[in-house]
Amino acid sequence: MKVAVIGATGLVGQKILQVLVEQDLHIDEMVVAASEKSIGKKINFDGRELTVVSIEDAIESNPDIAIFSAGAEVSLLYAERFAGRGTYVIDNSSAWRKHSDIPLVIPEINASDISADSHIIANPNCTTICMLMAVAPLHKKYDVKRLVISTYQSVSGSGHKGLNQLSAEQRGEHCDNPAYPCQIHENVIPHGGNFSDNAYTAEEEKLVFETNKILHSDIAVTATVVRVPVYGGHSESVNVEFSQQYDIDDVKGILSSTPGVEVYDNIDENIYPTPLMSYDKDEVFVGRIRRDYSIEKGLNLWVVSDNIRKGAATNAVQIAKYVIENFIK
């Protein structure tokens, strides 16, 4: 089994390498590739020292799996070239998510969308993964009609640039290459991605589109994305309106029995999920589970996950594992 990671020196790329070791996919050969400026760098993988190669060299190595985390532009340039050689490409960027013939996958929810011919598979946005891990099992039982989502996203979602900006500002230093248009330290910024003509940001539009593609649904979705001065872990306030009346204890039971979801909800003991508790964990944590009394069939949830792990690296590796087990001999 030969696996390539494209963008191996980045924040998510490094985490992908870590998760590949944890998942023990019986990899015989690992290829690590990145941009021209990183070629020749040394990376540790499972006790071995690997040398970063060019993406062209990675293509020539003919890997069975190539996991991309190098941005949409790189994915658009190179993913099809890997796929044309028979490699299964799993892409973390937004490049392929809207293509109707390319599956957008959260393995716990819609792994069956992947076929033997799916040589490019898109990884959803981190906030979509986190939110749908909680919402999808409830949708299966009670049929979600509408979602109102507010996200509170950590700076790690902007990669090293976001981390560096917050760190510099906390030290009282100027950041020469900021991730955000204004200060993030001691601030919150209601801005995620570029603004569209409809006044929504790209991150907000991803939640709308990706939810319905993954669930094969027509749910009304509206979202507000907020960047917060937290280093890691995304949080989301999710207001759900069902088509059917629900039982609150049944909701908690469904969530508690959902693989990959952990209910953390005891208001008497001040127990609820926070970004800090999600650090370097794969679980999606759900709390503040309560009825929305302003509408007849409404529910409120607070959902938290490590955006670099389940929101990106772990989900991609889970897809790779599914492909290996089902389509690679």
Sheet holding 120-122, edge to edge: 29-33, 2-6, 65-68, 88-91, 120-122
Region 69-84: what's the mean pLDDT? 97
Could you give the angle at the alpha carbon of 230 between the alpha carbons of 228 and 233, nearest 5°? 100
Residues 6 or more apart whose Cβ sits within 8 Å of residue 306: 232, 233, 278, 279, 280, 281, 282
C-alpha distance from residue 38 to each of 5, 8, 79, 160, 315 (Å): 13, 9, 19, 15, 25
Q: Tell me: the pLDDT tens digits for 31-55?
A: 999 999 999 999 999 999 999 999 9
d(CA 43, CA 27) in angstroms, rounded, equals 16
Query: What percentage of the chain carries pLDDT values higher than 90?
Result: 99
Distance of alpha carbon 11 from alpha carbon 15, whole angstroms: 7
**For range 191-219, the mean pLDDT:** 96
Exactly one of 126, 130, 139, 175 is catalytic; which is it? Answer: 126
Instruction: Give the per-residue pLDDT at 24.
Output: 86
What integer pLDDT is reported at residue 107 of this predicted model?
Answer: 98
Nearest-angstrom CA–CA distance, 239 and 131: 11
Whole-number pLDDT of residue 266: 97
> How would residue 224 be classed by pLDDT, with cut points 50, 70 and 90?
very high
Q: pLDDT, tens digit, for every residue of 316-326?
A: 999 999 999 99
Q: Is residue 234 among the annotated active site residues? A: yes
Q: Could you give the CA distance from residue 227 to residue 112 in angstroms, rounded to a whole number?
A: 33
pLDDT for res 288: 98
Q: Helices 11-23 & 159-170, crossing angle to 10 degrees?
A: 110
Coil/strand/helix, residue 155:
helix
Residue 329: band (very low, low, confident or very high) from pLDDT cuts 50, 70, 90 = confident
Q: Which of 130, 139, 175, 234 is catalytic?
A: 234
pLDDT tens across 92-107, in order? 999 999 999 999 999 9
3-state secondary structure of 78: helix
Tens of pLDDT along 268-318? 999 999 999 999 999 999 999 999 999 999 999 999 999 999 999 999 999
Does 175 qualify as catalytic in the annotation? Answer: no
Please name which of 260, 249, 261, 258 lies closest in space to residue 289, comparing C-alpha atoms. Answer: 249
CA distance 58 to 54: 6
The domains of the chain, with CATH numbers, are: 2-123+312-327 (3.40.50.720), 127-307 (3.30.360.10)
Buried b (16+ CB within 10 A) or exposed e, 166-189: bebbeeeeebeebbbeeebeeeeb
**pLDDT tens, residue by residue, 114-143:** 999 999 999 999 999 999 999 999 999 999
**Helix locations, the chain, DSSP H:** 11-23, 55-60, 72-84, 107-110, 126-142, 159-170, 202-215, 248-256, 314-327
**Cα–Cα distance for residue pair 275/73, rounded to 1 Å:** 30
